[in-house]
Amino acid sequence: MNRDPITKKGAEQLKAELKRLKTEERPKVIDAVAEARAHGDLKENAEYHAAREQQSFTEGRIAELEGLIGNAQVIDVTELNVGDKVVFGATVVLEEEDSGDHVTYQIVGDAEADIDAGKISISSPIARALIGKSEDDEVEVQAPGGDKIYFIESIQYI
């Protein structure tokens, strides 16, 4: 069975969310369902239906997080000794050839990818193009908006 890679920090964030859902959100939702049920007729009780929908969402997220955590291979990127190559967990500073813009990405697992936070999935086109490359390499990325060329300025494992 293949295990999905995740950074140590990403695993800690998922565990913290799971703990919060189980210890804070679940009890609130259970109380809301019980309170709405006490109001009487359940067929026409909008509060009850809303509380049940929230309960369903919460329980679904708990199950999803338990599955992600249970199937995760936690990798501490600070302990990787890969020299100057880009591998999972690397934080890479890139310069786009055409515009000269600089972007910084960390290559992470699918479960923790967040482009707004500069975290790209290991399975994304740009991450696949970067894997195995070194500083000062030119990387061509086949993106949905067309091909782009980047230069790797620096690689860090933080």
Supply the CATH number for residue 64's domain.
1.10.287.180
Q: Please check whether residues 69 and 92 belong to one and the same domain.
A: no
Euclidean distance between CA atoms 128 and 120, whole angstroms? 10
Q: Are 155 and 87 in contact (CB under 8 A)?
A: no
3-state secondary structure 49-92: HHHHHHHHHHHHHHHHHHHHHHCEEEECHHHCCCCCECCCCCEE
| pLDDT of 102 higher than 70 | yes
Q: Please check whether residues 137 and 147 belong to one and the same domain.
A: yes
Percent of the chain with pLDDT over 70: 97
Q: Please check whether residues 56 and 24 belong to one and the same domain.
A: yes
Euclidean distance between CA atoms 139 and 158, whole angstroms? 22
Q: Please check whether residues 88 and 150 belong to one and the same domain.
A: yes
| pLDDT of 127 higher than 70 | yes
Average pLDDT over residues 89-117: 90
Q: Which is higher by pLDDT, 83 or 36? A: 36
- pLDDT of amino acid 84: 82
- pLDDT of amino acid 147: 87
- pLDDT of amino acid 1: 55
* Poorest-pLDDT segment among 37-46, 89-98, 147-156: 37-46
What are 11-16's contacts with CB under 8 Å, separation 24+? 11/69, 11/72, 11/74, 13/112, 14/65, 14/68, 14/69, 14/72, 14/111, 14/112, 15/69
149 lies in which domain range?
77-156
Euclidean distance between CA atoms 17 and 13, whole angstroms? 6
Q: Please check whether residues 105 and 147 belong to one and the same domain.
A: yes
Average pLDDT over residues 93-102: 88
Q: Nearest to residue 64, comparing CAs of 115, 4, 154?
A: 4
- pLDDT of amino acid 82: 73
Last residue of a domain, one of 75, 93, 128: 75
Q: Please check whether residues 68 and 102 belong to one and the same domain.
A: no
Query: 10-63, pLDDT tens digit by residue?
Result: 999 999 999 999 999 999 999 988 888 887 777 777 888 888 999 999 999 999
